Chains A and B, each alone.
Chain A
Amino acid sequence: MQLTVNSKRYDLDVEPEMPLLWVLRDELGISGPKYGCGAGLCGACTVHIDNTAVRSCSINAGEVRGSITTIEGLGTPANLHVVQQAWIEHQVAQCGYCQSGQMMTAAALLSKTPDPSDSEIAEAMDGNLCRCGTYTRIHSAVKTAAQMMKGK
């Protein structure tokens, strides 16, 4: 099986029914996507396939069509994506475990809806659970990221 992750191509020998999350984490050592529920309920494992946010725990590796981007491919400490800049500016993270998934969902939202309304933000972010309760700062950071994108 071949997968493209963060613009890099990998040849893999795994069962097609292995969830993408465990291919990324255990086979490729890409640890930004997190395991939280294994059932598409928490969003901690969110990645992009092409430009769509997908729960990597709930898609089998063999079903992936398209190029995969993880949080590591979205931006790096030296080259931040606007969503990451906004997340830093608002100091969104507490434990931070859900935040890779939150940022991937937010980035996918903004790529399709550059100026989302409050209800569009709520709808997009509702599938990403945060046990620390950072929702109010996530909301502010999404707004800020949208503003920053406008400025570019």
Chain B
Amino acid sequence: MARLKTIARRTFLIGSAAIAGGVAFGYYRLRRDPPNPLLKGLKAGEAAITPYVRVDAKGVTLITPRADKGQGSYSIQAHLIAEELDVDPHKVRIDPGPPDTAYFNSRIMDDSLPFATIDEGIMARGARGGGEVLSRVLGMQITGGSSTVPDGYQKLRMAGAVARETLKEAAARRSGVSRSQLKTKDGQVILPDGKSLTYAELAVEAAQLAPVTDVTLRPEQEWRYIGKKMRRIDIVAKSTGTQQYGIDIRPDRVMYATVRTNPGMGGTIKRYDASSAEKMRGVKKIVPIKDGVGVIADNTWRAFQAAAAIKIEWNDPPYPADSAGMWKVLENSFSKDLQDSRLRNDGDVEKALAGSSKPIEAEYRTPYLAHAPLEPMNAVVLYTQERLDIWTGTQIPVFLQAHAAKLTRLPEEKVYVHVQPIGGSFGARLDDTYALQAIELAMAMEGVPVKMIWSREENMAHDYPRPIQLSRAKGTVRDGMVESMSIDVAGQSMGASWFNRLQAPVPPGPDVSSVNGIWDQPFAIPNFRVTGYKAKEMVPVSPWRSVGASANGFHHASFLDELIHAAGADPMAELVRLCNHEPSKKVLQTLRDISGWKGSRIDDRRARGVALTLSFGVPMAQIVEVSDTPQGIKIEKVYAVCDVGRILDPVNFEAQVRGGVIWALGHAMNCELTYENFAPVQTNFHLFEAMRFHQAPEIIVKGLELGGEVRGIGEPPVPPAAPALANAIFALTGKRVRELPLNKSVNFA
């Protein structure tokens, strides 16, 4: 972890940092800027420099420190800076920058706090401020939690504005014209007589100046990019096969490598015999590593072949060997001593249950799920006794740097992490096990770059999955309305598992992730109780797209639908009636209107299900429409409506919503990790298909801009899709499916 003295120096450093032949501008947190909501939690007088704009003789480079795993973060970060800097993001260089505590994510902790993301009460705001301070102190440069936009919306534009005004100041001094007389356009300062000076020409002079910080952000009427359809900066590269990912890095003299570690994650290696593998063509070295063994060869396929030929005996990891045993652990976790949270307890659930002649009870189960991005985990590493260079895609560069320093015993400043574009992540690159393995191999090949790639089979077995979760739900209805709902959730703690691997402190308080998507939902059920039980840790787990809500949305919105049907109410009307959060209510009403909702049954062949889950501050409601076909149930159409405060890029907004819906439906229909002999049975995509082309429905997207806080959209489309589908299946068939994946219970076309 970053050391405190470094943090102090960087946090309090004010001024432009001169770089070789140029200047780096930062974002300045100003004392006089109280309306900025992102400044909550910052003490008066504190200032931080976080470099986002570099100008040198060659031109402008925008620093985009949030990792791009396909969600378009490089593009949106560049457009936000460019909006104020007056450059064309397609004509400048984009660089993810070095790992640095200055790039801490002010919003990454929001989802780990025991306050709903829409809670604007003083305690919630205070806790969020505390989360921001914690992130800053720990230098948590993390990409995730749909936080890139909320974290960067103000500060990236501010960085662009400070850089622009400072360049204008340099031009003013050179020309003798006052700064207020100068304009900027397309990377140039324009003088009143029409002459222009390029930013590049002004770099050296700008570096001598104290940055101009008395800047105000442009009013939205003047925006050129925000709110308009943007063109992704990587779209040509990604449409021509010329985009280079981490797996494509190929330095001179590179050697190719792979590893085999205990398929029971967390288990160690007993012994191995590499005698036949050593003799195989192209094999350079076979190296023991943590929990396994690695092969370095002159071709990846030869490394794969040799690794497969090694005879290995493993030690068992410390959890049940199979899925039945794992579920048993959860079934036995509903006990007082394991109760971890009760974040919601409205009314009197016990009284309502006791007063009902027919309480409704149900049990919901969601499986372990792999992230399985299409680009397998990989890293290129060059180790010498003087320095370590790592080329890899990562969402946690500062953590990787710290872990690598510890492993190699090099000082952190000698560890260079070159962050690469990522071929999908969905949370997978929030861990760095693969990179540390590559470092172990490179340390055995001093001075030779080593490219380590996991085979798909290795990747499936070592993809720290989403945890399994078991809910026991009870509820009552009265007079055609939902009267009470109690959900007890047992799950292993994602936070404990993941933060421990990061060697970061586990956030204090209850394990919020295991109940998010249930306790924080915007419905005023008169008696509503949510209780979390912390099961012991089993398979090591990690955040999976939309984190806790990805599973809990299914538990909550499915059971709510059960109660609504038991009450004899219309699902849409009852959700609207129960909803006590204005933006969520508008989302539901809009969904009702654009879909022409007339009940869950359309005709005897077609039906609809509806669900709303509020996650990451975004109310997202969806209708899934299904039909009965001779080949099975077919998803015909999905309507998705949400409120994100403001849509920055309508193109990517729609892409993220559609992609999130397809992600969620595909896994809900078709995917689970089941365990035998400590390892997942699903070794490749034939057993873990998610959604393919022929199952993808038409998806109608409507984003509302109700003017509240600007939110990210990567995660929120996921949670309501599975319950909307299951609710539609109920409406079509009368069968209530309470366990994912759904294809265990119904056939899909």
Chain A positions within 8 Å of B, measured between CB atoms, are 14-15, 18-19, 21-22, 25-27, 29, 31-39, 41-42, 44, 70-72, 74-77, 80, 84, 87-88, 91-100, 103, 121-123, 125-126, 128-139
How close is A19's CB to chain B, nearest CB, in angstroms?
6
Residue from A29, A42, A72, A135 in contact with B250 in the complex, judged by beta carbons closer than 8 Å: A29
Query: What's the interface size class on B, roughly?
Result: 35 or more
Residues A39 and B70 in contact, CB atoms below 8 Å apart = no
- Supplied contacts A38-B455, A122-B694, 18 more A-B pairs, CB within 8 Å: A14-B299, A26-B299, A26-B301, A29-B250, A34-B375, A36-B375, A76-B240, A80-B239, A87-B239, A93-B238, A93-B239, A95-B70, A95-B373, A99-B241, A100-B241, A103-B241, A126-B693, A137-B655
Q: How far is the CB of A140 from the nearest CB of chain B, in Å?
A: 11
Q: What are 14 A-B residue pairs whose CB atoms fall within 8 Å in the complex? A: A33-B241, A38-B455, A38-B456, A80-B239, A91-B651, A94-B72, A97-B70, A97-B423, A126-B693, A129-B685, A131-B424, A132-B659, A133-B696, A136-B698
**Which of B375, B661, B663, B699 sits near A95, CB closer than 8 Å?**
B375
Considering only CB atoms, which chain A residue lies closest to B393 in the complex?
A: A95
CB under 8 Å from chain A, chain B span 243-262: 243-245, 247-248, 250, 256
Q: A22-B301, A103-B239, A131-B372 are in contact. Are A94 and B655 (CB under 8 A)?
A: yes
Residue B270 interfacial (CB < 8 Å): no
Q: Which residues of A have CB within 8 Å of B70?
A: 93-97, 132
Q: Which of B299, B374, B698 contacts A36 (CB 8 A)?
A: B374
Q: How far is the CA of A131 from the CA of B247 in the complex (A)?
A: 17
Q: Bound complex: CA of A131 vs CA of B223, how far in Å?
A: 33
* A98 closest partner in B (C-beta): B374
Number of A-B residue pairs having CB atoms within 8 Å of each other in the complex? 175
Residue of A with least CB distance to B371: A131
- In the complex, A21 Cα to B685 Cα: how many Å? 18
Q: Evaluate contact between A126 and B694: CB separation under 8 angstroms.
A: yes
Residues in B whose Cβ lies below 8 Å from that of A130:
374
Main DSSP-derived SS at the A contact region? loop
Prevailing SS type, chain B contact patch: loop
Q: What is the chain A residue whose CB lies nearest that of B378?
A: A35
The CA of A4 and the CA of B658, in the complex, are separated in Å by 40
Q: Does B684 contact A (CB under 8 A)?
A: yes
- Write the chain B residue with the least CB distance to A119: B694
Cβ-closest chain B residue relative to A61: B301
**Interface residue B279 (Cβ < 8 Å from any Cβ of A):** no
Report whether B659 and A134 are in contact in the complex, using a CB–CB cutoff of 8 Å: yes
Whether A35 pairs with B247 at a CB distance below 8 angstroms is: yes
- Asked if B663 and A133 sit within 8 Å, CB to CB, the answer is yes
Cβ B238 vs Cβ A99 within 8 A: yes
State which of B256, B453, B661 has its C-beta within 8 Å of the C-beta of A133. Answer: B661
A19 / chain B contacts, CB cutoff of 8 Å: 301
Interface status of B692 (Cβ within 8 A of chain A): yes
B248, closest chain A residue (CB) = A31
In the complex, identify which listed stretch (B229-237, B406-414, B628-636, B724-732) lies at the interface while the others stay far away. B229-237
Q: A29-B250, A133-B659, A133-B662 are in contact. Are A18 and B301 (CB under 8 A)?
A: yes
B243 touches A96 (CB 8 A): yes
Minimum CB–CB distance for B378 against chain A, Å:
9
- A19 and B299 CA atoms in complex are apart in Å by 11
State in angstroms the CA–CA spacing of A100 and B375 once bound together.
13
Is B26 in contact with chain A by the CB < 8 A criterion?
A: no
Q: How far is the CA of A25 from the CA of B662 in the complex (A)?
A: 30
